[in-house]
Amino acid sequence: MLMDGGNAVDAAVATAAALNVVEPFMSGMGGVGIMLFHQAKNGVTQTLNFGGRAPDAARPELFDAQSKQVGIRAPMVPGNLAGWLEALEKHGTMSREKVFTPAIEYAERGVPMTHFGHRIWEDNAAKLRQCPYAAATYLIDGRVPAPGEILRQPDLARTFRKIVEQGKGVFYEGEIAHAIADFCAAEGGLIALKDLRDYQPVWQDVIATDYRGYTVCTAPPNSEGFQMLETLNILEAFDLASMPHNSAEYLHLLIEAVKIAAADRIAYAGDPDWCDVPIAGLLSKAYAAERRKLINRKKANVVAGERWVKDVPEGAIKAGNAREYLPKGTTHFCIVDAEGNAVSITQTLGGGFGCGRVVPGTGIALNNGINWMEIDPACDTPNLIAGGKRAAWCLSPMQVFRDGKLFLAIGTPGSYGILHTTLQMFLNIVEFGANVQEAIEAPRVRIYGGTNVEMEERIPADVRDALTQMGHTIHLLPAWSPVVGGGHGIMVHPISGAYLGGADPRRDGCAMGW
């Protein structure tokens, strides 16, 4: 799209649609997502939120641990297609036909199975076989396609052609909407025609914090990206650059700061249409100074986990009172065009192939976004499921500015690990002088409940031993593990304006320039 004269938005929509075909286990029009858009001509950066909403009929008692993850009740109302078309109509320069043609051609002619994709397919084969329409779409004679084998998706190609011809309406009100609603009704699902008709993506202001002269921006709630910003505020008081990269001292501070911000995120994150999320307090430097006191430089704290749990471990870090600090008053990619416009998108189906259900005749895999919400009525956070509510979700692309100019666009898939994988890549650049490719390739950690930390084995044994002595429970990952995400980023040289792209060898992906 860029080589053909399009801008970053044109390229982003074309990429998002193509990913529906080549990585259908990650994202697609039946999924949800979020965009950061920086418009160079006026310096404005906005969020386009196309995360789904729970169907109006959703209630906690309709779900259990299984049905919120797999099966026809697990999907939220899909938002991706609405978001793609909204961005294209408001800020793109190309037609629907132009940007969707690559996806249509890939779906009709077929794409070769990658080795990474084959592993994901194998992991999800049992789920696909539960739905005859999913099995027919993604399996070949009932088996997982082998690496290099061609997979064609003719139903999906026809769906894209209908969208080219008829626009958003065919998906949210017309033929495809009826197919989705009828399938859900027949299978005992909850998405109704009204849910689809009522759906609209939303433009929002970004949230930001200052970190050592860099303005770090991400999406506002219902995104949980504020955890990254709060973590940076907590870490700002420490001279991280004086510490060896990925040393025990540095990783201990990083892990402990993440735990504190995660406790606040679990307590406060939710849909701002339904609850008051005290962002100004959560991002207050004074609040960070108070929360920083919880860090013991020699000992690991206990934390509840990545999300709300009913039985909190003894001694676990609790959320702070951010309201006291209020002032009065799974795919990620990024694109920067020649004008300096920047688009960062994180979009997802949730789990692999979403809920494992494909709408008959459409090639559309539905998400399992309900899994991001809590179903236990005892849950005392804003994220308890209700009809029409958006989930508190971890999708949180980052854009960074220096002296008002775009410096970095970066992000990753990886569930709740997004909130510390993106952070580590950013710190590798700002604190340790890495370029974007080095920052992405560097070994990473992921923080869980209790004192559990997963860590790629490239981190030296003496560092792991020192962290164990501090009370961290270390679980080794392979040297290059997709568990810690699959980052992609673009840096802009502050003087020359040259672009440098980086892509993660842990997953499929690449950086391309023209």
DSSP string, 267-321: HH-S-TTTS---HHHHT-HHHHHHHHTT-BTTBPPBB--SS--SSPPTTBPPP--
Domain carrying residue 53 = 8-36+45-202+348-372
Let me know if residue 176 belongs to a domain.
yes
Let me know if residue 438 belongs to a domain.
no
Let me know if residue 215 belongs to a domain.
no
Instruction: Tell me the two tokens of residue 325.
Output: 């600090």
Instruction: Tell me the two tokens of residue 140.
Output: 């070949």
**C-beta of residue 21 within 8 angstroms of C-beta of residue 153:** yes
What is residue 326's predicted lDDT score, i.e. its pLDDT?
A: 54
Let me know if residue 428 belongs to a domain.
no
What is residue 320's predicted lDDT score, i.e. its pLDDT?
A: 77
Name, in order, each residue with C-beta under 8 angstroms of 217's C-beta and a sequence gap of 6 or more. 36, 45, 206, 207, 208, 398, 399, 400, 401
Let me know if residue 120 belongs to a domain.
yes
Q: Is 330 a catalytic residue?
A: yes
Name, in order, each residue with C-beta under 8 angstroms of 363's C-beta and a sequence gap of 6 or more. 107, 137, 153, 154, 155, 156, 157, 158, 159
Instruction: Specify which residues 150 forms β-bridges with.
Output: 112
Q: Which residue has the tokens 């950013």?
A: 426
Return per-residue pLDDT of the chain as tens, 514 residues: 999 999 999 999 999 999 999 999 999 999 999 999 999 999 999 999 999 999 999 999 999 999 999 999 999 999 999 999 999 999 999 999 999 999 999 999 999 999 999 999 999 999 999 999 999 999 999 999 999 999 999 999 999 999 999 999 999 999 999 999 999 999 999 999 999 999 999 999 999 999 999 999 999 999 999 999 999 999 999 999 999 999 999 999 999 999 999 999 999 999 999 999 999 999 999 999 999 999 999 999 999 888 888 888 888 877 777 766 655 347 899 999 999 999 999 999 998 999 999 999 999 999 999 999 999 999 999 999 999 999 998 999 999 999 999 999 999 998 899 999 999 999 999 999 999 999 999 999 999 999 999 999 999 999 999 999 999 999 999 999 999 999 999 999 988 999 999 999 999 889 999 8
Helix, strand, coil percentages (3-state) for the chain, rounded to 5, are 35, 20, 45
Cis omega (within 30 of 0) for bond into 233: no
Let me know if residue 175 belongs to a domain.
yes
Is 438 strand, coil or helix?
Answer: helix
Q: How far apart are the first and last CA of the chain?
A: 11
Q: Which of 137, 209, 330, 346 is catalytic?
A: 330
**Euclidean distance between CA atoms 416 and 224, whole angstroms:** 9
**Euclidean distance between CA atoms 71 and 367, whole angstroms:** 10
In the chain, how many domains are there? Answer: 1
Let me know if residue 133 belongs to a domain.
yes
Instruction: State pTM to two decimals.
Output: 0.94
Backbone angles phi, psi at 444, to 5 degrees: -130, 170
**Euclidean distance between CA atoms 315 and 309, whole angstroms:** 14
Count H helices and E strands in the chain, helices first.
16, 18
Encode pLDDT of 478-494 as tens digits.
999 999 999 999 999 98
Q: Cβ atoms within 10 A of the Cβ of 16, count?
A: 27
**Euclidean distance between CA atoms 68 and 46, whole angstroms:** 31
**C-beta of residue 194 within 8 angstroms of C-beta of residue 138:** no
What is residue 498's predicted lDDT score, i.e. its pLDDT?
A: 95
Is 119 strand, coil or helix?
Answer: helix
Let me know if residue 509 belongs to a domain.
no
